Chain A
Amino acid sequence: MSAVTDTSSAAGSPAAEARQISKRYGKTVALNEVGIRIADGESHALVGRNGAGKSTLVSILTGLQPPDSGEVSFGGEAAPALADRDAWRRRVACVYQKSTIIPTLTVAENLFINRQALGTGSLISWPKLRRRAADVLGEFGVDVDPARAAEDLTVEQRQLVEIARALSFGARFIILDEPTAQLDGPAIERLFERMRSLQDSGVTFLFISHHLQEIFEICQAVTVFRDARHILTSPVAALSKDGLVEAMTGEATGLRDGNTRPAMTDQAPVVLDVDGLGVAGAFDDVNLQVRQGEVVGVAGSASSGKVALAEAIVGLRKPDSGSVQVTGRPVRAGSVPAALAAGIGFVPQDRHKEGLVADLSIAENATMPIAHRLGRFGSISPRRRRELANGMITSLAIKADGPDQLVSGLSGGNQQKVVMARALSNEPDALVLIDPTAGVDVRSKQTLLDVVDQTAERGTAVLMISDELDDLRTCDRVLVMFHGTVIREVRSGWTDNELVSAIEGIGESSGD
């Protein structure tokens, strides 16, 4: 270890430390004067809700981008220059959520990319390369054939190869960015085993996860970020699960206290009936029913399968099993036109991708599913379309010059309202919403949720897929999904902590 001692700690230099880091992207502040100190030999957790600044910190700690201000050090020494990739790789390695394996090359070549074993002259010696790759994989106990093409590896094997590659550079500080998100239970256990044994041999980890249970299982210290700020750093043992959740969510920032609708009765007829629905690799055997006028939330982490569930219901994905019925009639699986015809309205996850055609007008976007009703023999009457769109602009309080304005010129909140208008255009019996208030301002959020309320009051069954507590507060009940199954149902009147713990998997250990 380096002889430099840090005055703030008697325990010697930390494996890695970031001080007073700030980073902006345009107007958005990604990190605001944050710091983190990872002691040598510990597994340190970094947690925070989406947008807290975790990914930005990772890219700064691995030297992929510079901070606007602040400094990074490893083992008490200042970080190397950004251009010196090799120096960075000797100090820190990261297994990103996005793979840094090159799928078209073999495992062996991936391990030694840009530093292939050389034989005579400066020719690459393939036998030597394969031998060294086998040595590295053997040393770290990774059971993968080095001659295999990397694209054929499973997620687990891919991660192990990346970890072995990091260690073969001599890095003893490794960042794992949500390594468990794509793994199943037994694979997570095997990963933890490996982390523990590596930790015993002196490797330091920064572990990022949305599953708080895992942090209590594997980490000694935890740092919480919220809204680009550092909230706390504490030994895991000194922190209760509730305390951790509270640090992540902060004081309740909710706009709404529940919904304004009358309480649901069990007499209301079932409108949306999902029976045993499953998509291989995403979710399995999901049953749910939404009654007339009811709003049901579905919450869960990114890997829970909730988005795939919604997409299977509306026909964007073809389910492998199960069926969907609307008002008692089965809906043909895997067909969006069939879902529309059956009376399902839909707000997709990403308005830029599936929600809107940016260079078309508000009127064209909002009336897209009902174009056949706008005129005879396939023609479209612009007058009729403008009338309809004007009605939507008023009812959704869309701020625009008029129905002919292009949606690309609208703010995010107003764009989202156009997506909502499109979903409501065919007066659906069942409305499926994925993250309906993602990336919109407070006022638009209020309007959108009011519209959801009003739509339900008119008798529509609403299924709302979201992690936003404000969205979920509108719901009569919330189903929590975890690793592809519904694990809990929470009735209206839940506390934030209760719901977040359920979403983050506390009490539902991923391992068993």
Chain B
Amino acid sequence: MVTETSTRATGVAAARPKLAIARLRDFALVPAIIVLLVVGALVAPAFLSTGNLINVLQQQTELGLLVLAEALILVSGKIDLSLESTVGFAPALAIALIIPKASHGLGLGLPEWTGIPVCLLIGALVGLFNGFLILKLRLSGFVVTLGVLIVVRGLQLGFTTGQNLFDLPLSFTYLGTAEWLGLPASVWIFAAAFAVGIVALGYFRQGRSLYAIGGNSDAARAAGIRTDRVIWTVLVIGGLLAALAGLLMAGRLGSVAASQGQNMIFTVFAAAVIGGVSLNGGKGTLFGALCGVLVLGLVQNILTLAHVSSYWYQAINGAIILVALMLSRITSGKAQD
């Protein structure tokens, strides 16, 4: 019994330094970003130009919105793979409802102004459907959203007969190309979404409840948090953000490809995990996730400027993910599962 007491005592003493590191974890990527900026400046003089940095941001807006959505869902202890299909499906269906059959539309001829609201509504509905399957029917979130990913992508292929949609309504192209106060509109939207998210998760009870649910859902329920309702809301917001990302992507590229968003979910998870969001729920901040997005964007940009063959990107991105995981294993000192 004596030894037992002494091991407990050392346990208390050891707990203190770990806390400081856990807090630093939120800002762990800031030095990495600074290093990348320096490296970038050394590699190519054009790197630090305003135009290039804005370019980096704009290219990351769509990924960033998806990472925001996935981070919210991961913090509440769930997972959503279907986001990447919503990126293509929501704008494609919203556009198809407007444009004539000749341009691969459905020929319903809805007025042009419906484009954006319908697109967002479709994203929200996909989230609502995920929530129904996961929370009402109590199905496994991973498999449900995997199924929805495939079905939603299939629906898009079905009604577009695999064609890309080019004949975009003006409202779509506007958001993808407009500049507000010298910055692309999409960058403003991206920044605003993260700002709202960071404040909500840091300073609102509703936001904090995500951490409570992800950390220990039984305890959250016992504390009077309506866990199912909160998770359902988060899934709907996730779908909505995915649709928004799709809308911006469509506007930027001037078309909706049949494969829009495909395979993005891997990069989304990579950015979230690099940013310190735990796949087990209850841990991670949106600021961290944002840093994860920026790191991936900067690396990509530097590789481009350094004329590294694009065939190497995938290997390098994968290596970054693994290194980030090892670093977080070392800093947290805890086994990951």
Contact = CB atoms under 8 A, between A and B. Distances in A.
A280 to B, nearest CB: 6
Interface residues of B, number: 35
Contacts of A147: 19
Contacts of B282: 102-105
A115 B209 CA distance: 10
B interface majority secondary structure:
helix
A99 B5 CA distance: 21
A102 B216 contact: yes
Contacts of B278: 104
A102 B204 contact: no
A98 B216 CA distance: 11
B211 interface: yes
Interface stretch (B28-36, B40-48, B85-93, B220-228): B220-228
B162 to A, nearest CB: 41
Contacts of A89: 224
B280 to A, nearest CB: 9
A149 B26 CA distance: 14
A114 B11 contact: no
B208 A152 contact: no
B4 A114 contact: no
Contact of A105 (B8, B18, B211): B211
Contact of B216 (A86, A100, A109): A100
Given A104-B214, A105-B215, A114-B225, A485 B208 contact: no
Interface string B69-107: 000000000000000000000000000000000000000
B7 interface: yes
Contacts of B5: 184-186
B328 to A, nearest CB: 14
Given A86-B224, A124-B203, A148-B19, A102 B4 contact: no
Interface string A119-158: 0001110100000000000000000000111001110100
Given A152-B15, A154-B12, A184-B4, A104 B205 contact: no
B211 A281 contact: no
A485 B1 CA distance: 8
B224 A85 contact: yes
Interface string A157-196: 0000000000000000000000000001111000000000
Interface in B183-207: 199, 202-205
Nearest to B12: A154
B212 interface: yes
Contacts of A114: 205, 208-209, 212, 220, 223-225
B70 to A, nearest CB: 18
A154 B8 contact: yes
Interface string A475-506: 00000000111000000000000000000000
Contacts of A153: 15
Contacts of A148: 15, 19
A102 B1 contact: no
Contact of B205 (A64, A116, A184, A186): A116
B204 A113 contact: no
Contacts of B225: 113-114
Contacts, number: 100
A484 B8 CA distance: 14
A280 B2 CA distance: 12
A123 B205 CA distance: 8
Give the residue among A184, A280, A281 with the most B Cβ atoms within 10 A.
Answer: A184
B1 A483 contact: yes
Contacts of A389: none
Contacts of B199: 123
Contacts of A280: 3, 7
A101 interface: yes
B25 to A, nearest CB: 11
Contacts of A98: 218
A122 B204 contact: yes
Given A149-B22, A154-B12, A485-B1, A85 B216 contact: no
Contact of A104 (B1, B16, B211, B224): B211
Contact of B19 (A100, A116, A152): A152
Contacts of A154: 8, 11-12
B219 interface: yes
A448 B218 CA distance: 38
Contacts of A273: none
Contacts of A453: none
A448 B314 CA distance: 59
A116 B201 CA distance: 13
Question: Which of A86, A89, A114 has the most C-beta atoms of chain B within 10 angstroms of its own C-beta?
Answer: A114
A284 interface: yes
Contacts of A284: 1, 3-4
A483 B211 contact: no
Interface in B277-334: 278, 282-283
A284 B5 CA distance: 12
Given A100-B219, A104-B282, A105-B215, A281 B7 contact: yes
Contacts of B16: 152
B202 to A, nearest CB: 8
A187 B5 CA distance: 9
B1 A185 contact: yes
Given A103-B216, A113-B223, A114-B223, A152 B18 contact: yes
A152 B22 CA distance: 11
A147 B5 CA distance: 25
Given A124-B203, A124-B208, A184 B1 contact: yes
Given A123-B203, A184-B1, A104 B15 contact: no
Given A114-B205, A114-B225, A102 B11 contact: no
A153 B1 CA distance: 20
Interface string A413-433: 000000000000000000000
Nearest to B18: A152
A152 B19 CA distance: 8
Interface in B248-288: 278, 282-283
Interface in B209-249: 209, 211-212, 214-216, 218-220, 222-225
Task: Select the residue from B1, B12, B225 with max chain A CB neighbours within 10 A.
Answer: B1
B50 to A, nearest CB: 34
B215 A483 contact: no
Contacts of A152: 15-16, 18-19
A100 B8 contact: no
A102 B219 contact: yes
Interface string A295-319: 0000000000000000000000000
Given A114-B223, A124-B205, A148-B19, A281 B4 contact: yes
Given A102-B215, A105-B282, A109-B208, 15 more contacts: A85-B223, A85-B224, A86-B224, A105-B208, A105-B212, A114-B209, A114-B224, A123-B199, A124-B205, A126-B203, A149-B22, A152-B18, A154-B12, A184-B5, A186-B5
8 contacts: A102-B216, A102-B282, A113-B208, A113-B223, A122-B204, A123-B199, A149-B19, A152-B18
10 smallest A-B Cβ distances: which pairs? A85-B224, A152-B15, A102-B215, A104-B282, A100-B219, A104-B215, A123-B203, A113-B223, A102-B216, A124-B203
